[in-house]
Amino acid sequence: MKFGGLVAVNDFNNYVREGEILGLIGPNGAGKTTVFNVVTGVYYPTEGRVFFNGLDITQLKPHHITHLGISRTFQNIRLFQDMTVLENVMVAQHHELATKDAEKYLQKIGRNKYGASNFWFWKSVLKLGYMKKEKEIKDKAYSILKKLGLEKLADEKASSLPYGEQRLLEIARALATDAQLLLLDEPAAGMNPSESQQLVQLIKWIRDEFKVTVFLIEHDMKVVMGLCERILVMDYGVLIAEGAPEEIQRNEKVIEAYLGEEWSHVAK
C-alpha cells in the first residue's frame, strides 16, 4: 500500500485461520492499521489482493465487506456518543437488515437494486423493512449486551460509560453485524492492568461463544502474549517475524526492532 512516495505496507503476505486469535504487533508507524484498512476496504491496495473465505474482496466497499462477515473496532473509539448503549448496538444491525429487505423486495418485483429509479419509493421500502424488524433488532442487541455484561447500561448514553466499557460496547457493535472475523485495533488501549487482564479472558470467551476469528493490533505485550496463538511482527511496512508467542519473545530481530532487551530476559 503506497501513499504517494511512501510505501506503508510492502510485500505483506499472510492469512488468518478460522477460529484463531492472531496478533499484529510492531513499532508506531510500522503499517499495522494500514493492513486493517486494506482488509476492510478503507483503502484499495496499490498492489496485491485480499481474500476472505476464498472470495477476492480487494475492490469491495467497506459496507460490502462488513456484509460478508468482517467487522472491526477502531484505535480511537467511534461510538455514537449521544445515543444510548442499546441504540448503538441496534444501529449496527439496522443498515444491514434494511438493505437486505429492500433488495429482497426489489428482486420480487423484478428490479435489481440498481434498477429502482424512484428514490422515495426505495426509501419507503427501507423504512417498512426497518419497522417490521425493529423488535428482532432490539432483542438481538439486548442479547449481545447481556452476553457482554452491559445490559444494565442499555439505557445509558454511550458517552457516560467509563473508557473500558466503551471499548466493550465497540466490540458489541462489531458482533451485532454477525461478524465471522473481528478486527480489533488496540482493544486494551487506555485500560489499567486489571482491566486488560480481564479483556484477555473476555476476548477468548467471545471467540468461543460467538464462534469468531480474531485478528488484533495491540501494544500491551502482556495482552498480546497471553491472548494470541500466533503473532505477526511488522517493522517499516514489512513483516519481519511470525510465530507463537514464545518464538516471538525470543526472536532477535523482534527484540531489536520492537520488544527491547527486557524481553530477552523475560524469555530466558
Ligand X SMILES: Nc1ncnc2c1ncn2[C@@H]1O[C@H](COP(=O)(O)OP(=O)(O)OP(=O)(O)O)[C@@H](O)[C@H]1O
Q: Which residues of the chain form contacts with ligand X (CB under 6 A)?
A: 3, 6, 8, 26, 28-34
Of 79, 266, 53, residue with least CA distance to 171: 79
Report in angstroms how near the CB of residue 47 gets to ligand X at its nearest.
Answer: 15
Report in angstroms how near the CB of residue 216 gets to ligand X at its nearest.
Answer: 12
Report in angstroms how near the CB of residue 224 gets to ligand X at its nearest.
Answer: 13
Nearer to ligand X by Cβ, of 33 and 88: the residue is 33
H/E element holding 243?
strand 238-243
Nearer to ligand X by Cβ, of 30 and 257: the residue is 30
Inter-residue contact 129 to 105 (CB < 8 Å): yes
Contacts 24+ apart (CB under 8 A), 198-201: 199/164, 199/167, 199/223, 200/226, 200/227
Q: Name residue, grid cell 476464498.
A: 54
Nearer to ligand X by Cβ, of 29 and 226: the residue is 29
Nearer to ligand X by Cβ, of 70 and 148: the residue is 70
Report in angstroms how near the CB of residue 161 gets to ligand X at its nearest.
Answer: 23
Nearer to ligand X by Cβ, of 129 and 187: the residue is 187
Cα dihedral 49, 187, 148, 169, rounded to 10, equals: -90
Report in angstroms how near the CB of residue 174 gets to ligand X at its nearest.
Answer: 18
